Amino acid sequence: MDINLEKVINKIRRNSVTLWAGAGLSLYAGLPTGRKLADEIVKQMPKVYQDEFKGKALPEVAEEFVQMHSNSPLEAFSILNTYLNKEPQSIIYHEKLSEIPQIKNIVTTNYDDLFERAYGKSKLSVILENSHIPLANTPVKLYKIHGDMSHPESIVLTTSDYNDFFSFSHKNDSIWNKVTSLADETSFLFLGYSLEDPNVKT
């Protein structure tokens, strides 16, 4: 066995790993990456702007798109909904992760419900806001730090949303404090996650 893989397995067995899941983990289920979502939003822009924003990151594209629509995120959410609120092709890898009892905490920037499908309500508490933390009494906690499609008001999508998310006055600062404490107490295992993401840099 590869020595690095063995180290990861041993850390998991010692309950010292927090799973951090990105959009790449949901690709096999037929769901898009952030890049794909950005491309689809660009297609809905007036043609004069499409070349300018082609290839840019989702937060920047979404910020411009929302401003084009009188600062209303509804049109952007509609595009997200088209690509994310659909029956997955498979949830086999999420189910395999749910069979590892030592994984107690999951952090994700994904808006989808694949973990919820795999774990079920009895095993998984979804945490979207500060008030959910004391109510989370299941074996596994899922911190959806960028929100959830079933709660559009929770979605972190635009550059402004990101800036607000990382501000000290953010309404859900307790969640981010919990995530940073997990970084002190455990090792993060990144799956399907770009190290260019501003969350990782921060």
> How many domains is the chain partitioned into structurally?
2
> Collapsing DSSP states into helix, strand and coil, what is residue 189?
strand
Residue whose entry in the numeric block shows the structure tokens 């402004």: 160
- The pairing of beta strand 124-127 with beta strand 187-191: unpaired
CA distance 145 to 129: 9
> What is the pLDDT at residue 199?
58
SS (H, E, C) 99-120: CCCCCCEEEECCCCCHHHHHHC
> What is the pLDDT at residue 45?
96
Residues 62 and 147 in one domain: no
> What is the pLDDT at residue 193?
86
> What is the pLDDT at residue 202?
65
Each residue's pLDDT expressed in tens, for the chain with a length of 202 residues: 788 889 999 999 999 999 999 999 999 999 999 999 999 999 999 999 999 999 999 999 999 999 999 999 999 999 999 999 899 999 999 999 999 999 999 999 999 999 999 999 999 999 999 999 999 999 999 999 999 999 998 999 999 988 887 665 567 788 888 999 999 999 999 999 876 666 566 6
Residues 80 and 115 in one domain: no
CA distance 162 to 55: 19
Residues 129 and 55 in one domain: no
CATH number of the domain where residue 103 is located: 3.40.50.1220
What secondary structure letter does DSSP report for 85? S
Residues 120 and 102 in one domain: yes
Burial class (CB in 10 A: 0-12, 13-18, 19+), 153: exposed
CA distance 174 to 32: 29
> What is the pLDDT at residue 162?
84
Residues 150 and 98 in one domain: yes
> What is the pLDDT at residue 200?
63
Q: What pTM, to 2 d.p., does this model score?
A: 0.91
> What is the pLDDT at residue 3?
87
Residues 132 and 178 in one domain: yes
Lookup: tokens for 59: 């937060």
Nearest to 12 by CA among 142, 139, 102: 102
How many secondary structure helices (H) and strands (E) does the chain include? Answer: 10, 5
CA distance 38 to 83: 12
Residues 43 and 109 in one domain: no
Residues 25 and 39 in one domain: no
CA distance 21 to 106: 7
CA distance 147 to 140: 18
- The pairing of beta strand 17-21 with beta strand 187-191: parallel
Domain of residue 79, residue span? 34-84
